[in-house]
Chain A
Amino acid sequence: MLELIKANLGLILATAGAVVAAAGGILGSAIGVGIAGEAAAGLVSEQPERFGNALVLQLLPGTQGIYGLVVAVFIALQAGLLPGGAVEVTVAQGWRFFFAAFPMALGGLVSAIHQARVSASGINTIGKKPEEFGHCMLMASMVETYAIFSLLISMLLIFGV
């Protein structure tokens, strides 16, 4: 068993990296879209005509999941984890894939949750002042900037492996 792990350590680490990146982003988005969704559902109970706007704000924290997915797939591609793409992955490369996943995992997880809180507040705001929709969207997207930077740094690091 130990021998098997030792022989495939590079691949195992790369897989772990892909898993971490996907899990961080997806968990964050699941929590985030949930938080914003509660606020959206509350608003729709009072003002059903605001559904469209509320849905947009609810969806904003959903992108971290996609970014996580993208990083995971990129690792999988580079490390030949997908069917038909076997590549030799050294232990050092495995570690690099593994750590490259962390900006995305942590950045995605934390930013999605905080973005959701801004979104949820925005949803409450448009209940009272619908004309503030544009501003609320902008404020939520401010938080997303850091998810985008996480994506970027993870991608550049993976590319460098």
Chain B
Amino acid sequence: MIVSMKRLTLVGIRQEEADILKALQKAGAVELISVSADDDGGEGARRLDETAERISRFSESLSAIKPYAKKPGFLAPTREEKLEKMQQDVGEAEAASEHIRTILEEKKQIDARLEKDATTLAALVPWADMKQDMASVTSTKYTHCFVGLVDAAAEAAIREQEAISAEFYGEAGNRAAVLACLKEDARLVAGFLKTINWTDVIFPRMKGTPREAMAALEQDMAAGEKRLAELQTELESCGVNAAVLENAADALLIERDNLAAETQVEKDTSVFRLEGWVRSDEVDKVEQAIRSVTEDYYTEYRDPAEDEVPPAVLKNDTFITPFESLITLYSLPDARAIDATPYMTPFYIFLFGIMLSDTGYGLILSLGAWLFLKLKKPTGGLKGLATVLFWGGVSTMIWGVLIGTFFGLDYDVLLGTKDVFPLLIDPTSNPVGMLLFCLLLGIIHLSCGHLIKMKMCLGQKDWQSAVFDNLSWVFILIGVVLAALPMASGFFDPPLNLSWFTALHLDTVGLVLLLAGSAMILLFKGRDKKNPISRLASGFGGIYGATSYLSDILSYARLLALGIATGYLAMVFNTLCSMLMGGSGVMKVVGFLIAVVLLIALHMFSIAINTLGSFVHCARLQYVEFFSKFYEAGGRAFKPLQYKTKHVQISK
């Protein structure tokens, strides 16, 4: 169900504002609504920015040392920590973060230096044989000097020029050249060089010959590498600080939320006013939280006004609650509509099992989900999904006996029985029967959707919609099933025994229901229209809507298809591995070992991919086929001011 929300107005003394907000954050029961006139001269926003920046500094340091921190074990639960301890850690974290940032900064500088050195070194390679000091290769009073690279093919052309005196170095392909000419020829020579693809080079500002400069660069790079290694060791030794940084980052996250809340409160010199949403069942919690700080306050709780949009909060019993995560995955209901979780839960569990339909897989899935819940102790959506998979696994185990297999093996083969299993229908020998069974389940699912909508309409005293828009379709759907059952019975093996069915003339009843439903739609679909012709037209439009029901119902064929896919995939893996076991002597042992390892790996893969498929497609049947009949989505989540952390869990 959807919890009704109360609009809270709290007025208190300004001096106690901070303490009250802290107490409310601890209680985690109020979603604030901004009523601030923002007249503190941006002071609140400034402090908020400052805290956000500290958090991002901590996170940056944290991600730098994370690879060197002690790793929590696989499936280890999230670390718990006391808030006081976390707040004390902030000072230490500040120092550690500063240290880490200096290391990172120096590493960055050295990296840049190394890169620059490497580029310079590479540029000097062609000049390695030049014996002159680089600084001495310049133009003089009467001569002009060109330094550059040129294609080896152009070397001869340069040598032919009498005005130029040239020296060449380096390898054959791309020659390094130093040219000299008289000042007055410089222009001409520059023009000539342009025609032969000449590239000017400027020597780096370094002492000595190129070879000496290269040696100096190599030395510098070696020193840089050495320092880099030292810094790396230092950084790795900072890994121990991870816990402190995590604590501090989360403590600041809590502080930031609190500061953000403060900017939403209206205040003057002596009092403050706070507005927000509170769950109607948590009013006492809020009162207690405030009273723990002060007695001097005023609170008022009222129902939401017509134009206000309260958040949608779902509340169900322990069994249903995990399935709320499936609703969140789709969309929360409109705060004034209904919660679909209790209606969806039995269908979800029921249909999930048909898709996976292998007892062995169900067993592993339930066991895995159970272990995950026990060891990892997840919270929120993850906990919900794991619990959903647990129940899905249970359902799968049962359906495995009814319509499926055990790790892809036929129960009859396993237990030595003959044609007993699967108990209900064998989809591999009677796919058409199974298909009809799946479509029947679809019709039941859709009808229930309409019945829920009917209930909603009746709740709003709208009996016309309840009967003409919903009951009519239930009549049609059930009518079709009853009328078609005698025709369908032949597809089952053995054929269904319909003697009681025909004795009661249920097929005629079905036909009557079908006609009655159709007539209701035809005559009353356009009941708000005065003109009889347009009323009839919208009636026909309503009947045409049956096509969408056809596609809705056929969509349940996926129950069969996914079930077959699981069964055959498991069977293929078994066949493959049994071929490996066929050897003799030593090969028998080796083959057996390989087969066992392979079997485990392949079945794990099969469980993973088929569970994903079943999860998604079962959700789809709820979201698309079932919800479209009654569900009103579009609610927003309740986001109370609370302890919201990223790395650790606050211990009580």
A138 to B329, CA, bound (A): 9
The answer to whether A134 and B330 touch (CB under 8 A), given A59-B609, A148-B562, is yes
Complex-state Cα separation, A152 to B565, whole angstroms = 10
Which residue on chain A has the smallest CB distance to residue B329? A134
The residue of chain B having its C-beta at the shortest distance from the C-beta of A149 within the complex is B557
Q: How far is the CB of A145 from chain B (nearest CB, A)?
A: 7
Q: Is A40 an interface residue (CB 8 A)?
A: no
Residues in A with CB closer than 8 Å to B330 are: 134-135, 138
Q: Name A62's closest neighbour in chain B (CB-CB).
A: B609
Closest residue of chain A to B438, judged by CB? Answer: A152
Among candidates B555, B569, B623, residue contacting A66 with C-beta atoms closer than 8 Å: B569
Q: Which of A113-161 contact B (CB under 8 A)?
A: 133-135, 137-138, 141-142, 144-145, 148-149, 151-152, 155-156, 159
> Any chain B CB within 8 A of the CB of A86?
no
Provide the bound-state CA to CA distance between A62 and B228, in Å: 44
A30 at the interface (CB under 8 A from B): no
Tell me which residues across on chain A come within 8 A of B575, comparing CB atoms. Answer: 82
Q: Is the CB of A74 within 8 A of B568?
A: yes
CA distance A149 to B555 in the complex (A): 9
- Decide yes or no whether A91 CB sits under 8 A from chain B: no
Chain B interface category by residue count = 20 to 34
In whole Å, how far is B634's beta carbon from the nearest beta carbon of chain A? 13
Instruction: Select one of B331, B558, B568 contacting A70, CB under 8 A.
Output: B568
Contact A137 B609 (CB under 8 A): no
Q: Restricting to B587-615, which residues have a CB under 8 Å from any CB of A?
A: 609, 612-613
Please tell me which one of the listed residues B431, B565, B571, B620 contacts residue A138 in the complex, with CB atoms under 8 A apart. Answer: B620
A56 at the interface (CB under 8 A from B): yes
| Complex Cα gap A6–B81 (Å) | 78
Chain A 36-67 near chain B by CB (<8 Å), digits 1 or 0: 00000000000000000000100110110011
**Are B612 and A56 in touch, CB under 8 angstroms?**
yes
Chain A nearest Cβ from B388, distance in angstroms: 13
- Distance A130 CA – B647 CA, assembled complex (angstroms): 18
Instruction: Evaluate contact between A152 and B560: CB separation under 8 angstroms.
Output: yes
Give the residue among A56, A73, A151, A159 with the most B Cβ atoms within 10 A.
Answer: A151
CA distance A142 to B609 in the complex (A): 17
Complex: A115 Cα to B122 Cα, angstroms: 49
Which residues of chain B are within 8 angstroms of A74 by Cβ–Cβ distance? 568
Q: Is B328 an interface residue (CB 8 A)?
A: yes
With A152-B560, A159-B431 already in contact, the answer to whether A67 and B619 are too (CB < 8 A) is no
Contact with A along B297-340 (1 / 0, CB 8 A): 00000000000000000000000000000001111000000000
Chain B residues within 8 Å of A141, by CB: 616-617, 620
A101: Cβ under 8 A from any B Cβ: no
Interface pair B609/A134, CB less than 8 Å apart = no
- Indicate whether A138 sits within 8 Å of B564 (C-beta atoms), given known contacts A63-B609, A66-B569: no
Query: Is B328 a contact partner of A134 (Cβ separation < 8 A)?
Result: yes
B561 and A148 contact, CB distance less than 8 A: yes
A133 to B568, CA, bound (A): 30
Closest partner residue, chain A, to B569 (CB atom): A66
A109 adjacent to chain B (CB < 8 Å): no
Q: Does any Cβ of B come within 8 Å of A69's Cβ?
A: yes
Residues of A within 8 A of B555 (CB): 145
Question: For window 546-561 of chain B, which residues contact chain A by CB distance below 8 Å?
Answer: 554-555, 557-558, 560-561
Given contacts A69-B568, A144-B616, 5 further A-B contacts (CB under 8 A): A66-B609, A70-B572, A83-B579, A149-B554, A159-B432
Write the residues of chain B forming the contact surface with A, with a CB cutoff of 8 angstroms.
Answer: 328-331, 431-432, 435, 554-555, 557-558, 560-562, 564-565, 568-569, 571-572, 575, 579, 609, 612-613, 616-617, 619-620, 623-624
User: What are 7 pairs between A and B in contact, CB < 8 Å?
Assistant: A56-B612, A69-B569, A70-B564, A134-B330, A145-B620, A155-B561, A156-B432
